[in-house]
Structures are given as C-alpha cells and as structure tokens.
Amino acid sequence: MRFTEQNPMKIGTRGSPLALAQAYETRSRLGKALGLPETAFEVVVIKTTGDRVQDRPLSEIGGKGLFTKEIEEAMLAHDIDIAVHSMKDMPVDCPEGLVLDCFLPREDVRDAFISTKAASLADLPSGAVVGTSSLRRRAQLISSRPDLKVVEFRGNVQTRLRKLSEGVADATFLAVAGLNRLGRSELITAAVPVEDMLPAIAQGAIGIEWRGEDAEVSAALALINDADTATRLAAERALLKGLDGSCQTPIGGLAELSGDQLHLRGQVLRPDGSEQVSHKMTGPATQAAAIGAEMAVWLRDRMGDGFF
C-alpha cells in the first residue's frame, strides 16, 4: 500500500459538518480495513459552487452537479485520491476517467419533520409556513397539503435550524440520515413514513468516487463496499437516469431488499404538486438496474409531454 503518514491518501469532501462526518466515517472504515492509522489519511476540504451560492434555489443555478464539479476536477488533477459524496447529490453519469462504485452501508432513508410548533406534518395548521430547498419535498407537500405555504430554505443543517428558530418558517425537513450521522437525532420531531413522503433517490447513502486508473485505490475501496446498498442504488439510479432526473425534477424513489427480491417504488410529480404518477415493481435483485430502467419507461409513458 503506497499510502503512509508521509504520503497520506487524500480524501476530498465538501466542508459542511455533515460532509466532514461522512469523510471521517470513510477514513475510519478504510483505516480498519487496511490496518492503517488515521494519519495515513488527509481530509481535503473543497468548496463547491453549491456551497458558495446560498441566495438562489439550486434549480436556478444548475442542479446537482454544483456540489460535485470542483471535487471531481481536483481528483482528475490528482490533487485528491478519492471523493466522498452524499449520493442524493450525485448526477447519474461520472466525468470520463472517474468511477463511482463504492458505497457505505445505507442509513435511515426517511425525511425528518422538524418543528417546535407541531408534532407531525399532519398537525401543522392550515396556512403554516414550511421551509425547504428540495423541489421533491415542495411538490410532495403541495400535493398532500395544498393549504400550507412553502418557502425556499437553503443552507446546511445548522443554517436551516437557525432559520427555523428565527421564525422564517414553522417547520422544515431534513434527511434523518444526516441528523443521525451528525449525532443530532434529538432534533427530529417525527420521522416521516416513506408511504407518506417517498425519499429522494439514494437518500441516506454515501458514495466514494475514484480515478479509474488507480488500481490500488480500487482494491482498497472494494474492502469497504456494501453490496446491498450498491444493489439498491443500482435500481434507484437507473430509475433516475431513465427519467433524466435532476434538481429541477421532483422525483422520489426507494429500492428495498427482501431475500433475493428487490422492491422498487417510484414517483414523479409536477413541480407545482398538481399531479403525480407512482408505481411499484418487484423482481430479482440481480436485475436491479433493469428494474429501475423499466420503471422509468412505465412512468414516462404515463406522464405525457410537458409533465415537468
């Protein structure tokens, strides 16, 4: 192994507390798998466009790639060796030369309802203000609770909680997984059942990207890859790809495993929440990507032109 204290493996990440927690988890798992101390790894913080621009919705400034572009450029320039990503931020295609096929065990996939004024989404009074930056959550909220007012809510976990305490909104949503990883599960007022709010594609999953030419890194990452998470994400990301999904597309999707069977749920919504199309499919887990692609075709056939 070429990585030592003198020549550490450089782990690229965004600088938010959650991104750093995910990078530290990756460092810990690699260290244990390879028998290396923490000092054989260096966490390199890279500021992305999505982090710098906080005053506009993501859909206005370019979508998901805004949280990955600068990190991927650093890897192609050999400034870092691997990159740790929240998989729900990842476009379905990698830049040429990069590979994304290592996933850590998936956390809780549900959305967390957070409010000091109501015990659950159903308990919010008519006219209450909900803050979210997610087009999926916005569309799902308007579809199920058209009596609520939804406002734009950008920023990391700490920023959103501050906005909530300042009264900018009565409630907000974050991923349960992120709060768990930050050790802040006490902030969760209620976890929303997936039947009520289908999560984002790949929510709760951490992915590790690497240069395809780096055989030593490939062998190291194979030691920590979680096969079940990889299978589930193969179905969900095939669904996303088939729908040409982006941050400008309200899409929910969740694959779950039961023995050798994979169960996939998918949902697409109009951005204004006025219409939604949902579907469920089950098939062999070995055909995960094919199931996702088939569901995308089914949904597209029923959406019609101009759905988004």
Which residues are marked as active site? 89
Q: In angstroms, how far is CA 180 from the centroid of its own chain?
A: 14
Q: Are strands 98-103 and 111-115 parallel, antiparallel or unpaired?
A: unpaired
- Say how far apart CA 137 and CA 180 lie, in whole Å: 20
Of residues 54, 89, 94, 87, the one with CA closest to residue 73: 94
Q: Which residues contact 115 (CB under 8 A, 6 or more apart)?
A: 124, 164, 170, 171, 172, 189
- Say how far apart CA 185 and CA 30 lie, in whole Å: 25
CB of 149 within 8 A of CB of 128? yes
Q: What share of the chain is helix, strand, coil (3-state, %, to 5)?
A: 40, 25, 40
List the structure tokens of 221: 């990452």
